[in-house]
Structure 1
Amino acid sequence: MAYSPRVTTHSDEYGRHNLFEDSGFHEPVDANTDYDSSLSEPEDRLAYEEDRPASVWHGGLDFGLLILRVVLGGVVGAHGLQKVFGLFGGPGMAEFTRILGDQGYVHQTTILSWVGGITEIAAGGLLILGLFTPAAAAALLAVIANAVYLQYLDHPGFFLDNGAGYEFHAVLGGIALALLFTGPGRISVDVNTPWRRRPVPFAFVGFVLAAGVTVALIMLFR
C-alpha cells in the first residue's frame, strides 16, 4: 500500500510556534520591526541584533545572570568589608596587612592590603549593579586567582577540609570567568552597552589583564 507524503498544515505550524513560545525562550518580533526571518548573512543578523530593543528577555537567562552577579559580588564584597572595616567578624586592615606578610608578601604590604580590600568592595558592588561588568569581573578574577595561588601554597589539596584546599576560590573564579564571557544580561545598568551585546572581545581583553595583574602581584610583591 502506498502512502502519500504528509502535508504540513497551518495548525501544525501554529502548534509548533506556541510550543516554542511557551518554553520561555521565544522572542516575539515586534510588528513594526522589519526583520526578515530568512536572513542568513552574519552581517544582516548582527545589524538586527543592534536594532533589537535591549529590554527583550531571553527566557530565564537574564535572571540567572543576575543571580550569579549578586552571589559573586555579594560574597567577595563581604570579604572586602571584613578586610577594610573589620565587619562580619573580619580581621580589619591592620591584621589583614600582617596576614599578607605571613603569606610571603614583603613589599608595600599596607598599600597592597588596601588595594585588595577596596577592589573587592568596589568590583563586587559594580558586579551586583551590572555596571562596567567586564572590568569588575576581570578585577575579581585577578583577586581570586591570587587567592587560589596563596591557598595552594599553604594547603596544596583541592578539597576544603578544615580550612585547607582552594575549591571555594575555584568556584568563585569560575563564576567570574563565566560572567566575563557572558556579560551581565539585560537586568543590569550595562544593558545598552557594547560589552553587553558583544561581550566576547571585551572578555578576552579582561582575561589577559587579569592574568597580567595576577602575575605582576606575585612577581613584584612577594
Structure 2
Amino acid sequence: MSSSDSDYFRPSEAQSTAAYDSPYDTNDTTVLARPNMDEDKPAVDTHRWHVGADLGLLVLRVVLGALFLAHGLQKVFGIMGGPGIEGFAAALTELGFQQATLLSWVTGVSELGAGVLLILGLFTPAAASAVVGVMISAIWVRVDIDLFVGGVELETIYLAAGFALLFTGAGHFSLDRKSPWFRRAPAFGFLFLILALGLAAVSLFVLR
C-alpha cells in the first residue's frame, strides 16, 4: 500500500477535531442542558387586581363590618335599642354563662373591633376570626332543631361570611393589600380559624 493510499484512510485534522468535539465523546463529561422552555413565559402575578372579585370582597367586608359594628354598639353602649353591658350580661347569665359581665365586655368589644377592622380592611384575619368565634358560640346556644335552619339563619350567614373572608383576605380595596397575611391568606386564615375555635370552646365549655 502506498503512502498516498495510507493517507486516504488517515483521518484529517478537521475530522479528528470534529470527532473530539462530538457530544458522544466518552471523554466529554459535560451534561447537555435541556433548554428551558419557560424562560420566555411572563411571570404570573397571583395577587394581581381582579376588579370583580375585589369589588365583591369590598361589599362583603363593609356590610359584615357595619353590621358587627352595630351589634357591638348595642352591647357596649346600649344604643339602637341594644341591651348594654348589664342587659347582655343578664342574658348570658340566663344562658348559663359564668363571668357574664366580663364575657359581655369581651364580646361587645370584639364586635366593635371586628366591625371597624373589616370596614377598613385591616388585620382582616383577626377580624374575621372574631366574627367566626362569636357566631359559633351564638349558634351553639341558640340553635333549636325544631325550627327552620335551627332558628339561626342569620347567625349562619354571618358565620359563612366571616369564614369566607378568613381565607380569601380583604381584597385589594383594603389596607391589608401589602401585608403578609394578604399574600398568604389561606395559611393565616387557617391559623386564625384555630384561634377562633379555641376561644369559642373556652367560652362554651369553660365559662358555661
> What TM-score do the two structures reach when normalised by structure 1?
0.72
Aligned residues of 1:158 and 1:167 also touching (Cα < 8 A): no
Does residue 74 (structure 1) correspond to residue 63 (structure 2)? The answer is no
Identity score, percent: 44
Does residue 215 (structure 1) correspond to residue 207 (structure 2)? The answer is no
Q: Residues 83-118 of structure 1, C-alpha deviation per residue, up to 9 Å, x if partnerless?
A: 11111111111111100001111x211101000001
- The separation in 2 between residues aligned to 1:59 and 1:129, in whole angstroms, is 18
CA drift of 1:72 comes to: 1.0
Aligned-residue CA RMSD (Å): 2.0
Does residue 97 (structure 1) correspond to residue 71 (structure 2)? The answer is no
Matches within 5 A, 1:162-173: 165-173=151-159
Could you tell me which residue of structure 2 aligns to residue 145 of structure 1?
136
Paired letter, 1:38: K
Give unpaired runs (5+ residues) of structure 2: 1-37
CA drift of 1:157 comes to: 4.1
Runs of 4+ more than 3 Å apart? none
Does residue 132 (structure 1) correspond to residue 123 (structure 2)? The answer is yes
- The separation in 1 between residues aligned to 2:94 and 2:107, in whole angstroms, is 16
Does residue 38 (structure 1) correspond to residue 30 (structure 2)? The answer is no
Could you tell me which residue of structure 2 aligns to residue 189 of structure 1?
175
- The separation in 1 between residues aligned to 2:39 and 2:136, in whole angstroms, is 45
Q: Residues 194-213 of structure 1, C-alpha deviation per residue, up to 9 Å, x if partnerless?
A: 11122010011011111111
| Secondary structure in structure 2 of the residue aligned to 1:209 | helix
What is the aligned length?
171
Q: Does the C-alpha gap of structure 1 residues 157 and 178 become closer, same or farther in structure 2, counting only changes over 3 Å? A: farther
Does residue 59 (structure 1) correspond to residue 51 (structure 2)? The answer is yes
- The separation in 2 between residues aligned to 1:158 and 1:139, in whole angstroms, is 26
Give unpaired runs (5+ residues) of structure 1: 1-34
- The separation in 2 between residues aligned to 1:36 and 1:72, in whole angstroms, is 44
| Secondary structure in structure 2 of the residue aligned to 1:69 | helix
Q: Does the C-alpha gap of structure 1 residues 194 and 94 become closer, same or farther in structure 2, counting only changes over 3 Å? A: same
Q: Please tell me whether Structure 1 or Structure 2 has the larger radius of gyration of its CA atoms.
A: 2
Q: Does the C-alpha gap of structure 1 residues 36 and 73 become closer, same or farther in structure 2, counting only changes over 3 Å? A: farther
Could you tell me which residue of structure 1 aligns to residue 16 of structure 2?
none
> What TM-score do the two structures reach when normalised by structure 2?
0.77
CA drift of 1:59 comes to: 2.4
Paired letter, 2:134: V
Aligned residues of 1:93 and 1:113 also touching (Cα < 8 A): yes
Could you tell me which residue of structure 2 aligns to residue 202 of structure 1?
188
Match of 2:145 among 140, 151, 156: 156
CA drift of 1:158 comes to: 5.3
